[in-house]
A and B are shown apart, each in its own frame.
Chain A
Amino acid sequence: GAGVSQTPSNKVTEKGKYVELRCDPISGHTALYWYRQSLGQGPEFLIYFQGTGAADDSGLPNDRFFAVRPEGSVSTLKIQRTERGDSAVYLCASSLGFVGSTDTQYFGPGTRLTVL
């Protein structure tokens, strides 16, 4: 079956611009996560959705970052007034969303964001 998909695969923008990154989770997965990964580092958690609601947004670095999941499937990560420090690979993951230690997250291919 289809895995997690993300678009675009690459995004180059200029400092100060607005960007949107899209994630389409695995069908039937109710939980969706956004992470970002800088070179040489592990993924860093940003936000988690259970259904349509953001259940945990404690990883968002500041109020320039916002994410939505209006119908409980596709999610969009929005970054306003981009800064060069926002350059990273943005990874989306999804899981079945059951309560328990073994609910497993599967990652999409990522969007590489470069802010010039």
Chain B
Amino acid sequence: QKEVEQNSGPLSVPEGAIASLNCTYSDRGSQSFFWYRQYSGKSPELIMFIYSNGDKEDGRFTAQLNKASQYVSLLIRDSQPSDSATYLCAARTTTGRRALTFGSGTRLQVQP
């Protein structure tokens, strides 16, 4: 079992819709979670992080964390074609350890 799991997709949504990207993790000691966006052929770009249960909003993006269910999600409101990319979920999985453990990413396609 991978430590951080994501559905590979592609997830296809129409322009203007809400895209919902999900991630589960296996290590209950995980402290913080990061969402990165990666365009084809480019490096990961940080969108936002979350470490407390509940929702955290930043512009069109909302991250949600449920530690009891070991579940993290990213909502993208008013999706745009420029949001089409692979979204990587990452966890800092052990207290005191700095390395991030990444999922394989979910490919999002926003249809104009």
Chain A: residues with CB nearer than 8 A to chain B? Answer: 31, 33, 35, 40-45, 48, 50, 55-56, 58-59, 91, 95, 101-110
Contact = CB atoms under 8 A, between A and B. Distances in A.
B43 A45 contact: no
Interface string B68-111: 00000000000000000000101010000111111111000000
Interface of B: 4, 8, 31-32, 34, 36, 42-46, 49, 51, 88, 90, 92, 97-105
A110 B44 CA distance: 10
B35 to A, nearest CB: 11
A43 B51 CA distance: 21
A104 B44 contact: no
Given A43-B102, A107-B45, A109-B43, 20 more contacts: A33-B100, A35-B100, A40-B8, A41-B104, A42-B90, A43-B100, A44-B102, A45-B99, A45-B101, A48-B99, A56-B99, A91-B44, A101-B51, A102-B49, A102-B51, A104-B34, A105-B46, A106-B46, A107-B36, A109-B42
Nearest to A41: B104
Contacts, number: 59
22 contacts: A33-B98, A33-B100, A35-B100, A40-B8, A41-B104, A42-B88, A42-B104, A42-B105, A43-B88, A44-B102, A45-B99, A45-B100, A45-B101, A48-B99, A50-B98, A55-B98, A56-B97, A102-B32, A104-B46, A105-B100, A107-B44, A109-B43
